[in-house]
Structure 1
């Protein structure tokens, strides 16, 4: 039996999803895409999981689609790549919309679909050795994994155009300066830093964080009036929920809140 393309390890209410094809630089093939969707659904549904971390194994985070698989499809490439993209996108969408926070711990280079996976974290931590490349147009392809949605929102249309059209490599420090990732940490402390962030989020008001995720997603295409209505409904619901009541009580009592 072959090893899974992505492994799952649950520690202290945090689910660690580790891309586990280091010999293929964690590239995306059909088994990878199916596994991503399977684990995303499990993480979203399991009430014991309060935060998810996505990271890679080996020296790379993820270099994108498995080009060998694309080539092997031959004349069936259009159908094969379309099926792979739709399968991959099912996992992407679930991770992006689940009601718990996502941390990406980017342990090395991220390109193509790997870029999409890297930048979708609510908190995106990049190791010093990480760098980011669109890579699609270099092989005559176009973005997948949500890159064309995330990039303009994170770094602006002009920078997104440059990344997609020229495939210029963005180093870790530049990635922070333009808003592509949250911060850079030394390679040898990435796991420790990601763990600390994830544990703190897992101890936080996860339902309120889920509503924050939803508001940010909706704001991309919402008018101000509609977004204000959404915010009013969301804060009202949060205030009436256990987390909101605990947060207010803890504030008034001058103690730390207990959200778990």
Structure 2
């Protein structure tokens, strides 16, 4: 058990922290100031806990929340295996993606399978860069986004919300909103056919952007989940506009507000997914079909997509801006902070 002085030093970043030292910071973050009666002298365990909690009396609940998230994040990072930097020495352009162009297809693979392809801030930027290059590449007829591993994507990496700059959490929220708006704009403006190959479960932003794709193929093992309310957040990826248009208002509300998880076949029935394939033959069937698409005349596809999509672009950009403004406010809310704390509490217990 930490002494009261040590607890304060830990919370202010002056001492390292271990798993056994997390509960005091957690309790302060979730319960606030010490308001329980002091245990008797012979109740050694509870008295030690009470002393540690009471010693944090001057620290506000919000400060404790921020400290707790930073502490757990630091612990997780310190225990994570060192990142393999071999790709950097070989001059590879992407650290979080694998990008291959062959058969007139640019294939963008989300490449963090050990993290279920959770999207980091770096990943947002790299996906945007890969899309820019595919758009300019004369050898690219169609572009495909898919994932390595069992997941297509598990949504945002919540570590994105713990990297708070010296300017404070308002700066973090503002910068994140700018990154997200730019990321979604890449999909709105992409000029060539854009196809999602959903190789497993998809969560959050990896689901909401699907309304901006031209085709979505999924394995029957895939699921689609947008748990925004559970995380104290709100829709993004233009889904507040595209989902009601694709699946109808009441179904979109069920998915975006009430966290309904869709199976691949349910998503197909609602129009979010184009076609579902058996998992055993998914890769073979889908890539065979995509290779045939790559043989089609590029300019014909580009001009046809313009006719279908261009009338919606202005509206989609306006929706994107509106969604990011709302998210910037949500990221600063108690709802969102409490959800992130809860996530890291569960992760620290593993």
TM-score (norm: length of structure 2): 0.58
When residues 192 and 83 of structure 1 are mapped into structure 2, their CA distance, relative to the original with a 3 A threshold, is farther
Which position in structure 2 is the counterpart of 1:67? 158
Contact 1:104 1:120 (8 Å CA) reproduced: no
SS in 2 for 1:166: coil
In the alignment, structure 1 residue 136 sits paired with structure 2 residue 214:
no
Which residue, 138, 147, 171 being the options, matches 1:47? 138
Instruction: Give 1:40 shift.
Output: 0.7
Correspondence for 2:302: 210
- In the TM superposition, what are the counterparts of 1:102-251 in structure 2 within 5 Å? 102-220=194-312
Number of the residue aligned with 2:190 = 98
- Does the CA-based 8 Å contact 2:220-2:264 persist in structure 1? yes
Q: Which residue of 2 aligns with 1:5?
A: 96
Distance 1:2 1:115, change over 3 A: farther
- Map Cα deviations across residues 16-63 of structure 1 (whole Å, 9 max, x no partner): 100001122111111101101110100000111111111011111111
Mean Cα displacement is larger for which, 48-57 or 72-81? 72-81
Q: Compute the displacement of 1:148 (Å).
A: 2.0
Structure 1 residue 82: Cα displacement: 3.8
Give the Cα–Cα distance (whole angstroms) in 2 for the partners of residues 78 and 109 of structure 1.
Answer: 32
Q: Please, which moves more after superposition, 44-53 or 119-128?
A: 119-128
Counterpart CA distance in 2 for 1:42 and 1:178 is 32
Give yes or no for contact 2:210–2:272 (8 Å, CA) kept in 1: no
Aligned to 1:15: 106
Change (3 A) 1:153 1:168: same
- 1:77 and 1:190, CA in 2 relative to 1: closer, same or farther beyond 3 A? farther
Deviation per residue, 1:54-109 (Å, 9 max, x gap): 10111111111111221343994443244234324434332343221111100111
Deviations 1:147-180 (A, max 9, x none): 2232122212221111111001010111111101
User: How far apart in 1 are the matches of 2:128 and 2:115?
Assistant: 20
Contact 1:44 1:100 in 2 (8 A): yes
Q: Return the index of the structure with the highest Cα Rg.
A: 2
Aligned length: 222
From 120, 125, 133, the equivalent of 1:34 is 125
Give TM-score, length-normalised by structure 1. Answer: 0.77
Contact 1:52 1:198 in 2 (8 A): no
Which residue of the partner structure matches residue 149 of structure 2?
A: 58
User: CA, structure 1 residues 19+77, in 2 after alignment: closer, same or farther (shift >3 Å)?
Assistant: farther
Deviation for aligned residue 1:119:
4.3
* Secondary structure of the structure 1 residue equivalent to 2:257: helix
Aligned to 1:235: none
Secondary structure, counterpart of 1:37 in structure 2: helix
